[in-house]
Chain A
Amino acid sequence: MNFLLGAFKPACNISITFTDGKNRKQVPIKKDNGQILMNPLFQSQETIAGKIHIDSYQGKKVEHNGVKVELLGQIEMYFDRGNFYDFTSLVRELDVPGEIYERKTYPFEFSSVEMPYETYNGVNVRLRYVLKVTVTRGYAGSIVEYQDFVVRNYVPPPPINNSIKMEVGIEDCLHIEFEYNKSKYHLKDVILGKIYFLLVRIKIKNMDLEIRRRESTGAGANTHVETETLAKFELMDGAPVRGESIPVRVFLTPYDLTPTHTNINNKFSVKYYLNLVLVDEEDRRYFKQQEITLYRLKEETS
């Protein structure tokens, strides 16, 4: 029986633990199958170290041509299924060819790894970081184990952060002036602003602020653009009259946002927009879209 079972099982069990695994912050990551798993969180220039344990089943001997661990940064385009572009690849050899009889532990360390890009899960593209342990075997096929981890990079507040202020309108019909207090928001930020109604000749039913994400992948003729509305936040109910000003206060916390990504490895970009939408009584929509930059601000408590 054991023999039979063993035939369908990998010859050994590989597990990866991080040095500070217990204390390190875990963040959820959505897998392909919709499952949400918690993964450790790192940032660029961190040392990624830990131990790799290899257990052979029931003391069965495992022959191998070497054991190695790789740190890979990959970009995966969904329309180009199965093709990974590794923008980072580091390797550590853990063992020379030989045999494993019993539980074996290999410490590893990638020190001060440069991880410029953040982990990203989009509609058409995924950027992920992974540790890949390979027990190379000649005849029976190598045994591979992956461990995802998440990278987030924090940036200081931008030195210049102007407000967005703009007057828009349709002649003799609707003139508004809107103002958002910044053009760059961090992910836990609050958008504050005001909308002034300078002229209202249409019967407005309500006004929403949408947060939209525009993900473009590929380059040149192969560019795919995907826009999704992440948030729809009602700002106003009813029809204002001339001279009214409506306050804007949108907390970004509840939404699943990422920083703005520009031309990541020439493969994709992610941009964010605030879309101000006015709906009139005949359900006609009047809107104005403004790009904002999102960035990840170092949290005080982490």
Chain B
Amino acid sequence: MIADDDEKWLAAAMTAVKQNAFYMQRAIDSNNLKDALKFSAQMLSELRTSKLSPHKYYELYMRVFNELGTLEIFFKEETGRGCSIAELYELVQHAGNILPRLYLLCTIGSVYIKSKDVTTTDILKDLVEMCRAVQHPLRGLFLRSYLAQVTRDKLPSIVSELEGDGDAQMNALEFVLQNFTEMNKLWVRMQHQGSSREKEKREKERNELRDLVGKNLHVLSQLEGVDLGIYRDTVLPRILEQVVNCKDELAQCYLMDCIIQVFPDDFHLQTLDVLLGACPQLQPSVDIKTVLSGLMERLSNYAASSVEALPNFLQVEAFSKFNYAIGKVVEAQVDLPAAGSVTLYLFLLKFTLHVYSDRLDYVDQVLGSCVTQLSATGKLCDDKAAKQIVAFLSAPLEKYNNVVTILKLTNFPRVMEYLDHETNKAMAIIIVQSVLKNNTHISTADEVDAFFELAKGLIKDFDGAIDNEIDEEDFQEEQNFVARLVHNLYNDDPEEMSKIIFTVRKHILTGGPKRLPLTIPALVFSALKLIRRLRGGDENPFGDDSSATPKRILQLLSETVEALSDVSAPDLALRLYLQCAQAANDCELETVTYEFFTKAYLLYEEEISDSKAQITALRLIIGTLQRMRVFNVENRDILTHKATGYSARLLRKPDQCRAVYECAHLFWADECENLKDGERVVLCLKRAQRIADAVQKMTNASRGTSSTGSVALYVELLNKYLYFLEKGNTKVTGDTIKSLAELIRSETKKVESGAESFINSTLRYIEFQRQQDGGMSEKYEKIKMEWFE
């Protein structure tokens, strides 16, 4: 409803303006000065309304403004026709109402200035002074805005024309400054108009008007002759005085931003202490961080854009000034929430990183200041602050892309201490990801230690923290990061590398049952890599007391993996033991290897009960054991025997069968002459065959003729025989093979075995080998069988 009225009033005012403008135009056309003045005054009287909202008033103003343009031209022509401009200047002041009078005065004033037959500065002074008479905020703002607008294009020329005339320059400057001051006062005063109920609406309207005020600063920045000296001594102090004294949040915020955006970078740099000095004096509710961030961002860009500017930054000690200023601001604004102060430091940090990227001490100093601030507030709990501090800590990471650099910042971990668990973890993830993304190598044990200190949010649970609701998948992913990370901890020097491994282990072991299965493998493999390197280096340059012997590392690993078995990840532990055993084997450490096997066996016996898991584990054991070369006969026998024993005790017969024929390999190592026990191989295979027979019987009994399982087993066995035959096991005879083949044949005749393709490819293979030249065909000569056509 109010808006409707607004519309109506505006329409009425517009009509009146249009009408009077028409008469004014007619008077102008007939060169009737008196009438032109009369109607223009009447037209301007429409601006005296108090009914319109700022928005609508602006529309009206713009309309009138356009009409005044023609009046200005008319005045100019009048003076050309011999009418004294001074007389005109007096004449317009006869208007009885103040507002039309002043609009007319400004209009003629702008003509007066251009005519140059009077000291322009006197006119400027007069105009800006006379405009005081309008104390109504809205009308005053627009009047002064009009004044600024009509004089605007004339000001720079004045200044340049009067070059050398310092007084005149200062006067023009003074004019703009004063107009600015008055406008700001009016603007600030607007908030006290009307009822307090509509405060919010009023503030919104005020915000719409802010550019009227800000334009003055823009004009100032464009005045020629405003050099650094004048800016520093006059312009800035005057503006700041006004900004500080107006004690208005909206104005302070906007104007500070204006100052920062409008004036050149270099000026800011040279007047930094003045500008920053004003910040703590602003109202507590002012969003200083936006202001300062704007400034720092500008200066950062400035530094980035020109290399010549950098020495200036050093010269004016921009950093320490900012640091000091922010400290002051935080001190002055008692109610500033933690998020706010952290944000401030964040911007300072960004600035520092931009401008002083090589000054780690500065960066550290910022962190230090932040710590001091945080120590007053204690742990951060609100979300906003946490977010800010994550950004704060991430900034140097992003900048340097190198965690090693970050590790040099002594205050970095101190800041992290103030994070809550959640945030701490998030931060840790960021740090770790940074390492992974940039493929950073952390290459000393001390650094690694420090690094894990930083990332401890990921590495271990916090005391008393309850993370039941943690998503399992997320958790795994996080821990995968850690695992990947371990590989980035690397040093070419084995000595140092082993130290690194010790350190990593120390930290990783604190991880608790949920983490260990995910993180230990990485550690183990990293260590194994080192062992392989040590071995590759042939000679051990360190002597036996060095920590970097394979033996010691293996020992360490043994202890480490043991931790896994405590947390019920026996499969994993078993695999790792076997891996270690392999490494030990490669290092020809028999007892150690044996030890690992023992542990693996124990695990197998005690912890692995699931039959599927057993099969897998057993295969791993067999596979690994087969490749062991370090054992003497006795040890090997024990282990082999055990493995075979495990095989025979598997639950399902087919599994037994398979495991047993796998065991055959344990007695036959191709490259090693003393490990070729043909007899025992055949024994094993025979035993497997017996099991297969049993399977066959069982299936026949239980399900009639439908099963195919045993046929496949037989074919597999056949293949094993063929393998050993090829390898030159003399105990494998043609008869054995033949009889097995027969068996298969008879079985397949009885039922659809489903294993035809397997059989056929086996047969094709035999055929193929038979036709080969050389020794292979000879071996196959033994097999004489008539296969089913």
Of the candidate stretches A22-30, A153-161, A244-252, A257-265, the one touching chain B is: A244-252
A232 to B95, CA, bound (A): 10
B93 touches A249 (CB 8 A): yes
How far in angstroms is the closest Cβ of chain B from A240?
Answer: 4
A246 to B133, CA, bound (A): 5
How far in angstroms is the closest Cβ of chain A from B179?
Answer: 15
What are the interface flags for A224-237 relative to B under an 8 Å C-beta threshold, 1 for contact and 0 otherwise? 00000001111111
Check: B132 CB closer than 8 A to any chain A CB.
yes
Check: B90 CB closer than 8 A to any chain A CB.
yes
Check: B266 CB closer than 8 A to any chain A CB.
no
Check: A254 CB closer than 8 A to any chain B CB.
yes
Contact among B93, B99, B135 for A240, CB-based, below 8 A: B135
A65 to B189, CA, bound (A): 83
The verdict on A245 contacting B132 (CB below 8 Å), with A234-B97, A236-B98, A251-B94 known, is: yes
Contacts of A232 in B (CB 8 A): 96
Give the size category of A's interface with B: 20 to 34
The verdict on A246 contacting B96 (CB below 8 Å), with A237-B48, A238-B140, A251-B90 known, is: no
User: Which of chain A's residues has its CB closest to B48's CB?
Assistant: A237
A247 to B133, CA, bound (A): 6
User: Which of chain B's residues has its CB closest to A240's CB?
Assistant: B135
A237 to B101, CA, bound (A): 12
Contacts of A233 in B (CB 8 A): 96
How far in angstroms is the closest Cβ of chain B from A121?
Answer: 23
Question: Could you tell me which residues of chain B, from 99 to 158, have a CB within 8 Å of some CB in chain A?
Answer: 99, 101, 129-130, 132-137, 139-140
Contacts of B134 in A (CB 8 A): 236-238
Contacts of B132 in A (CB 8 A): 244-247
B96 touches A239 (CB 8 A): no
Contact among A246, A251, A253 for B135, CB-based, below 8 A: A246
Contacts of A239 in B (CB 8 A): 135-136
How far in angstroms is the closest Cβ of chain B from A154?
Answer: 22
A238 touches B135 (CB 8 A): yes
How far in angstroms is the closest Cβ of chain A from B192?
Answer: 9
Contact among B94, B130, B140, B185 for A253, CB-based, below 8 A: B94
Please count how many residues in chain B sit with their CB below 8 Å of the partner chain's CB atoms: 21
B133 touches A237 (CB 8 A): yes
Check: A241 CB closer than 8 A to any chain B CB.
yes
User: Which of chain A's residues has its CB closest to B186's CB?
Assistant: A238
Contact among B94, B130, B135, B185 for A237, CB-based, below 8 A: B135
B133 touches A241 (CB 8 A): no
User: Which of chain B's residues has its CB closest to A252's CB?
Assistant: B94
A241 touches B94 (CB 8 A): no
A237 touches B139 (CB 8 A): yes
Question: Could you tell me which residues of chain A, from 198 to 248, have a CB within 8 Å of some CB in chain B?
Answer: 206, 231-241, 244-247
User: Which of chain A's residues has its CB closest to B94's CB?
Assistant: A254
A235 to B786, CA, bound (A): 131
A85 to B153, CA, bound (A): 65
A247 to B129, CA, bound (A): 7
Contacts of B137 in A (CB 8 A): 238
Question: Could you tell me which residues of chain B, from 766 to 785, have a CB within 8 Å of some CB in chain A?
Answer: none
A234 to B135, CA, bound (A): 12
B99 touches A237 (CB 8 A): yes
A235 to B98, CA, bound (A): 6
Contacts of A238 in B (CB 8 A): 134-137, 139-140
User: Which of chain A's residues has its CB closest to B99's CB?
Assistant: A237
A244 to B97, CA, bound (A): 20
B189 touches A237 (CB 8 A): no
How far in angstroms is the closest Cβ of chain B from A173?
Answer: 18
User: Which of chain A's residues has its CB closest to B143's CB?
Assistant: A237
User: Tally of A-B residue pairs with Cβ under 8 A?
Assistant: 53
How far in angstroms is the closest Cβ of chain B from A91?
Answer: 45
B130 touches A247 (CB 8 A): yes
B93 touches A237 (CB 8 A): no
Contacts of B136 in A (CB 8 A): 237-239
What are the interface flags for B635-655 relative to A under an 8 Å C-beta threshold, 1 for contact and 0 otherwise? 000000000000000000000
Contacts of B140 in A (CB 8 A): 237-238
How far in angstroms is the closest Cβ of chain B from A24?
Answer: 25
Contacts of A206 in B (CB 8 A): 98
Contacts of A249 in B (CB 8 A): 93, 130
Residue picked from A206, A231, A233, A238, most chain B C-beta under 10 Å: A238
A241 touches B97 (CB 8 A): no
Contacts of A251 in B (CB 8 A): 90, 93-94
User: Which of chain A's residues has its CB closest to B93's CB?
Assistant: A251
How far in angstroms is the closest Cβ of chain B from A128?
Answer: 29
B94 touches A234 (CB 8 A): no
Residue picked from A234, A239, A240, most chain B C-beta under 10 Å: A234
What are the interface flags for B70-103 relative to A under an 8 Å C-beta threshold, 1 for contact and 0 otherwise? 0000000000000000000010011011110100
User: Which of chain B's residues has its CB closest to A203's CB?
Assistant: B193
A240 to B133, CA, bound (A): 9
A233 to B140, CA, bound (A): 18
How far in angstroms is the closest Cβ of chain B from A200?
Answer: 10
Contacts of B135 in A (CB 8 A): 236-241, 244, 246
A236 to B133, CA, bound (A): 5
How far in angstroms is the closest Cβ of chain A from B285?
Answer: 22
A237 to B134, CA, bound (A): 5
Contacts of B90 in A (CB 8 A): 251, 253
How far in angstroms is the closest Cβ of chain A from B123?
Answer: 14
A246 to B130, CA, bound (A): 8
Contacts of B96 in A (CB 8 A): 231-234
What are the interface flags for B176-188 relative to A under an 8 Å C-beta threshold, 1 for contact and 0 otherwise? 0000000001000
User: Which of chain A's residues has its CB closest to B131's CB?
Assistant: A247
Contacts of B97 in A (CB 8 A): 234
A251 to B136, CA, bound (A): 24
A233 to B93, CA, bound (A): 10
Question: Could you tell me which residues of chain B, from 216 to 240, have a CB within 8 Å of some CB in chain A?
Answer: none
How far in angstroms is the closest Cβ of chain B from A244?
Answer: 6
A234 to B101, CA, bound (A): 9
A244 to B94, CA, bound (A): 24
A266 to B611, CA, bound (A): 140
Contacts of A231 in B (CB 8 A): 96
A234 touches B130 (CB 8 A): no
Contacts of A246 in B (CB 8 A): 132-133, 135
How far in angstroms is the closest Cβ of chain B from A238?
Answer: 3
Contacts of B189 in A (CB 8 A): 241
A140 to B133, CA, bound (A): 68
User: Which of chain B's residues has its CB closest to A204's CB?
Assistant: B135
A237 to B98, CA, bound (A): 7
User: Which of chain B's residues has its CB closest to A233's CB?
Assistant: B96
Contacts of B93 in A (CB 8 A): 249, 251
User: Which of chain A's residues has its CB closest to B135's CB?
Assistant: A238
A79 to B734, CA, bound (A): 164
Contacts of A234 in B (CB 8 A): 96-98, 101
A228 to B136, CA, bound (A): 30
User: Which of chain B's residues has its CB closest to A238's CB?
Assistant: B136
How far in angstroms is the closest Cβ of chain B from A218?
Answer: 33
A247 to B185, CA, bound (A): 17
A241 to B99, CA, bound (A): 19
Query: Which 7 A-B residue pairings sit nearest by Cβ, starting from the closest?
Result: A238-B136, A238-B135, A234-B98, A240-B135, A254-B94, A237-B134, A234-B97
Q: List 23 A-B contacts (CB under 8 A).
A: A206-B98, A231-B96, A233-B96, A234-B96, A234-B101, A235-B133, A236-B135, A237-B48, A237-B133, A237-B134, A237-B136, A238-B135, A238-B136, A241-B135, A241-B185, A244-B135, A246-B135, A247-B130, A247-B133, A249-B93, A251-B90, A253-B90, A253-B94
**9 more CB-based (< 8 A) A-B contacts, given A231-B96, A238-B137, A254-B94:** A232-B96, A234-B98, A235-B98, A237-B134, A239-B136, A244-B132, A247-B129, A251-B90, A251-B94
